Chain A
Amino acid sequence: MPKRIYITGIGIISSIGNNANEVLSSLKAGKSGIGEITLFPTIHKGALPVAEVKLSYAELLSLAGQTYGDKFTRTTLLGLIAAREALESAGIEDVNDRPTGFISATTVGGMDRSEVFYGEFLENTGKGRLRDVINHDCGESTEHIASELGIRKFVATISTACSSSANAMMFAADLIRSGKLDRVVVGGTDSITRFTLNGFNTLMILDKTGCHPFDEHRAGLTLGEGAAYLVLESEEHVMPEGITPLAELRGYGNANDAYHQTASSPDGTGAYLAMNQALKMSRMEPADIDYINAHGTGTENNDLSEGRALERIFDPMPLFSSTKAYTGHTLGAAGGLEAVISVLSIRNGLVFPNLRWSTPMKELKIKPVTTLMTGQPIRNVLSNSFGFGGNNSTVIISEPTKPL
């Protein structure tokens, strides 16, 4: 029997709340975070909505417990806020009392600063503030956050596009299973940047009205920003130390669609393989899944491909929804946000609605949940995170089981 991996802490910041309680309130109230761009000047303002964390740099700094300077990128501050909450929620005071790692996922790293630098640099190669570009790479946010948390034992950063956080969770769990670490703070962080907005816009997959996943008239995704971390701990000390876990990471799967760099295969091969692997590892049948937090970006391609893969595996279809209509697509952080939302679903017996859904997709029989469902016995949640490059990952999060 493989070692159990418990989730003992969660932390989250997103357009629908600055911590887990605020996010839960918004999810229950059906309150979406999608609105107009305010973070940076762009010709897309007013035309392409986004889901921003409505906090200025100074406000983020103060929420992150920092009082000085501007050495952090927005990506770092979002991550630091969520990671601190995760540690607090797990009741960890000394991160070094056991071998602890910090594994973070991101797709843009410090791009929020380097894109500003580069504009100035192009006008004059002697211009641009260096502190705006030295934090460009993906490792920067991970290292700043790890240092602030006091974690030195192990750090790593993953970037597999929109499945990054899910893959970070797998790496973390494997490290714990192998005995290399007892505990890992794991998740992801991404800020909205002009770079990603323009990048996705060149692919013409941004919805001008805000995303409506799994709807026949869906017209693309909506970019969001945020960060979410979970504390994963080995069963070997969770129960003996009297820690009450929030949930358990029961299984995961990673497969590649190997079809196209930015499009999913029509039959959802990668998605199908990833979900099946996760079920197999969890020793579960499809019928054991009570709720699916779908990847559901709202693009024509993803929702059809994912929907077909879901229909191939699940019959009958369990309750499912995409919560991206609330949070926007937070890219590298999405798997972390949705893992935290899955924990909230289990802990509170809730299934959150797929906002802005009205018309079934003509190719599919399945329909998402569209109103908040309360008092649900949610034992097992399957959460999908699929990315460009066919990087498809699935995690299964469950009510904690007791060691034998």
Chain B
Amino acid sequence: MSAYIDGIGLISPQQTTDPARFLPEVMEYTADFLQVINPNYKEYINPIASRRMSKLIKMGITSARIAMADAGCQMPEAIITGTGLGSVEDTERILNGMNAGEQLMNPTPFIQSTYNTISSQIAISLQCHHYNSTYVHRSFSFESALQDALLQFEEAAATTALVGGIDEMTSNHLGIVRRTGHWKMEPVNNLRLLSYRTPGALAGEGAAYFILRGAPSTSHYGILKDVKTFYHPKELQETSLEITAFLASNNLTANQLDAVILGYNGDIHSDSVYDQLGSGLFNENQQLWYKHLCGEYFTSTGFALWLAANILRHQYIPSVVKFNNQPADSFRHILIYNQFRNINHSLILVSL
């Protein structure tokens, strides 16, 4: 079962909130982590309602509204969100309150800290009583949400779905997780991310919502053909076989892909997986990368899906995302391959 991508709302460290424009200008940063460019949330959310909302919730509601406007959708029949960490900011507030003696704590951060708050705040703001769910599995979160949407269409339980991937980063949280060695220890230039050749990824954040439809519309970006996740492959050979099998089940081979979007994040250990596939299975392909534009976060494949959808719509690849240069004049099939520490691997196939 496939789905039609009909509308997109993306809030990211790039200028992406206007669906009519495809990367008009590339934002360059030298930073510890990449932060989103906040739109004027008041244009999208009632100021009284937004006063208590933390950043993540505002990002979620706003990107959802942009996606719905882009698709001309008034009421989705399912709202499904993927988030690896939920509201980090609210969680920290509660922990701070507990540390201050467990007394006179404010209920708002607790209410907003539950992972399903984004999906449910969108439902409340739309008065949407339909199917509503939230996936919270590391870098599978967004993919699980997409898989669920495809199943809803297959079961004929919905004809339209609002599906998103959203995560935030705070400097406090980065301060903690940096000690694991999985994140860059110094500020880096995002556009030169691969030149450092050091361990650790460049952290980022973003919110991407999509309107998916079970049936074709006149204005879709492309078709979400299939989504697959696989966990903890034992060796590269197994990863390669999983990818080949996924393509075969969609009647494709690697050679037929017009572009492959890879999850390079600047961590030399993690990136070696892409290097090996890039000189192996994907040797002949136009390879792209995107995390220098948005940073690494659990639901970064939302950014990648936005990129793939726009390449299909505009039939053009911005040079900033090109990892190599292969001649191509049209784009029909794009594969997104991402992995997190060689544990969580995911594949998203989009076609024209």
Contacts and interface: CB of A to CB of B under 8 A. Distances in A.
Contacts of B223: none
Interface residues of A, number: 65
Contact of A174 (B103, B115, B151, B232): B151
A115 B141 CA distance: 23
B202 interface: no
A262 B69 CA distance: 28
Interface stretch (A119-127, A237-245, A354-362): A119-127
A134 B183 CA distance: 13
B129 A198 contact: no
A167 B151 CA distance: 13
Interface string A144-185: 001100001111111111000001000100110110000000
B79 interface: yes
Contacts of A152: 230-233
B105 to A, nearest CB: 5
A138 B102 contact: no
A160 B132 CA distance: 9
Interface stretch (A52-60, A75-83, A250-258, A310-318): A250-258
A158 B111 contact: no
Interface stretch (B174-182, B273-281, B311-319): B174-182
Interface residues of B, number: 66
A107 interface: yes
Interface string B97-108: 111011101110
Given A44-B102, A198-B97, A202-B105, A389 B116 contact: yes
B127 A258 contact: yes
B111 A261 contact: yes
B96 interface: yes
A386 to B, nearest CB: 12
Given A107-B115, A202-B106, A258-B123, A159 B130 contact: no
B130 A255 contact: yes
Given A258-B126, A258-B128, 13 more contacts: A121-B176, A139-B137, A142-B137, A154-B231, A155-B137, A155-B231, A157-B136, A158-B144, A174-B155, A202-B107, A389-B114, A389-B132, A390-B132
Interface of B: 1, 79, 84-86, 92, 94-99, 101-103, 105-107, 110-117, 119-121, 123-124, 126-138, 140-141, 144, 147-148, 151-152, 154-155, 175-177, 179-180, 229-233, 298, 343-344
